[in-house]
Chain A
Amino acid sequence: MNNVPNRQVICETLMAHAETDPDIFVLCSDSRGSASLAPFAERFPAQFVEVGIAEQNLVSIAAGLAACGKKAFAASPACFLSARSYEQAKVDCAYSNSNVKLIGISGGVSYGALGMSHHSAQDIAAMSALPNMRVYLPSDRHQTKRLIQALLRDEKPAYIRVGRNPVEDIYTDKDCPFTLDKAVWLRGREERVKAALIACGEMARPALEAAELLEKAGITASVLDMYCVKPLDKEAVIQAAQMADIVFTVEEHSPYGGLGSMVAQILGEHCPKYVKCLSLPDAPVITGTSPEVFAHYGLTGKGIAATVEGVLK
């Protein structure tokens, strides 16, 4: 049972690199605790900037730091970062092509019963629509570490969404295949299957569990960890579709403008195929913890497997 949330891994990774890189800057909007970045603030006060509860300022200041050669990581709850500071992400980061990494913490429905104001079911759609902006939803702590290490090496903007709670490992520290902007095949690569499951973020693990349940029921399924939602790994999407009867996408997001929309768009052009999109509803989600919400909307291993079986019938 893993008890390390992805946000903590981001802090640990940034701290490890900040030891030798004084240009790494972390910014928070009264969010150092919820972002697990308090240790960074304590260890590297000269590389930490607190802006208070002011998400627009957070992103613009990060862009200003980046314009002067800093590697700015701005962390704030995904619900606010992707909405309140959207224009700053658009103009100061994306348009100016600034080296700002926007870390959306407690993404999706992580804040559970706090209500729609605190959910970010629109962030993939919003951020993906910005030219120059890349969008990543790592699936576990090991992939999160690889992703941050890779992003430290480039100078372009990106939005990274992680959840609040620890998620079960998919990979191990030693076995975590990672190439930036290439999806990871978790099951069934180059195999002829009934169902191709393409998932991102916290939905990769339940997608994998669903494939295992389906196998027991005699239904073959491949699983693709599409942590790189933008740029979407088109080749992998097309390959998965070509080898499957039906494509399923799974995401913790609105049904519009997220992974499902992008996969359907690619396949509509390059490999027409029935695509079933599993997501949160186009509505304020039901009150509950993340696991309760996921279970309610069929976004668990069992729920995904049941949907796949139903569609295949």
Chain B
Amino acid sequence: MNIHDLELLSWDLRQQTLDIIMAGGGGHIGGDMSLINALLVLYENHLNISTASDPDRDRFVLSKGHSMEAYYAVLCHKGFLDLTDVTARFSRFGSPYIGHPNNKLPGIEMNSGSLGHGLPVCVGMALAGKRSGKGYRVYTIMGDGELAEGSVWEGAMAAGHYCLDNLCAVVDRNKLQISGPTEDVMSHEPLAERFTAFGWNVIEINGDRIAEVDQAYCQAKEVKGRPTVIISNTTKGYGSPLMENKAGWHHHLPDQKEYEQLKRDFAAGKERARHE
């Protein structure tokens, strides 16, 4: 899909994500909005998943599992799930549509929720591909607060050691976590140097710009002998000044007035994109 159409689509998915959150009475809206570009561009232009049962398909694990509402929007857009059904039953009693990835649902490879699991699991997936001579690629998206988990760095160490160039990790670097700025809670800088020291190729982008996200995924495929991390500098709550860069919106549930404002802002964002 071309960048212009992706831009337009991203605003629709933001609105759908918001509707899922409102229907379910909760969600992680701030991170949903910062990560949705990376998810959308991956699924639309890069992830080879023509059939979910194909052993040669690319793999994706949402390590930042609490951004599930954005993932639902993308999975519905790609036809794995039905948006009406997801919206009607998200977080409801007995529903399979829970607040983190549930691998009993079509299109979802692994359960997650506990942070720091996605990258090590993807190391196993990438190793399986390498050892079997398969050409599939493996992707994961992590949060930046998540990087404080030691298991992330165990995975990073192994990925470098085994030269897993079929592995691409994205860090949704929105610089905010539930308690405040990541650099106040536990600093991650110099983040690029840290990954480089672990044997990774590092690409830094403005993740709010879809063209940069798309280009980063393309570049990652060309890198040989090393895994690639895309440090995607994003804005938490991207899409509306009401929630942008506000830690309080990590999992804030908008009231009706706020909902209407967000809806107007998303519509305006789409209108701007239409004329760019």
Contact = CB atoms under 8 A, between A and B. Distances in A.
A63 B124 contact: yes
B24 interface: no
A54 B157 contact: yes
A49 B127 contact: yes
B257 interface: no
B127 A61 contact: yes
Interface string B80-117: 00000000000000000000000100000111111011
B158 A57 contact: yes
A51 B121 CA distance: 13
Interface string A124-140: 00000000000000000
A60 interface: yes
- Most A CB within 10 A of own CB, among B112, B121, B157: B121
A166 interface: no
A62 B154 contact: no
Nearest to B156: A57
A69 interface: yes
Contact of B121 (A47, A49, A64, A87): A64
Contacts of A90: 114
B88 to A, nearest CB: 25
Interface in B121-147: 121-129, 131-132
A62 B110 CA distance: 13
A70 interface: yes
B15 to A, nearest CB: 31
Given A60-B120, A66-B124, A96 B103 contact: yes
Interface residues of A, number: 29
A57 to B, nearest CB: 4
Given A46-B131, A60-B117, A95-B111, A65 B157 contact: no
Contacts, number: 97
A61 B110 contact: no
Contacts of A61: 120-121, 123-124, 127, 155, 158
Nearest to A74: B124
A91 interface: yes
Interface string B180-198: 0000000000000000000
A7 B112 CA distance: 32
Given A64-B123, A68-B124, A91 B113 contact: yes
Contacts of A66: 124
A69 B114 contact: no
Nearest to A96: B111
A151 interface: no
A88 interface: yes
- Most A CB within 10 A of own CB, among B55, B111, B128, B155: B128
Given A64-B122, A68-B128, 6 more contacts: A68-B55, A68-B132, A72-B124, A91-B112, A91-B113, A92-B117
30 contacts: A25-B128, A25-B131, A46-B131, A52-B157, A52-B161, A56-B150, A57-B158, A60-B123, A60-B151, A61-B123, A61-B124, A61-B155, A61-B158, A63-B110, A64-B110, A64-B120, A64-B121, A64-B123, A64-B124, A64-B128, A66-B124, A68-B128, A68-B132, A72-B124, A88-B117, A88-B120, A88-B151, A91-B111, A92-B111, A96-B110
Closest CB pairs A-B (n = 4): A64-B124, A60-B120, A68-B128, A57-B154
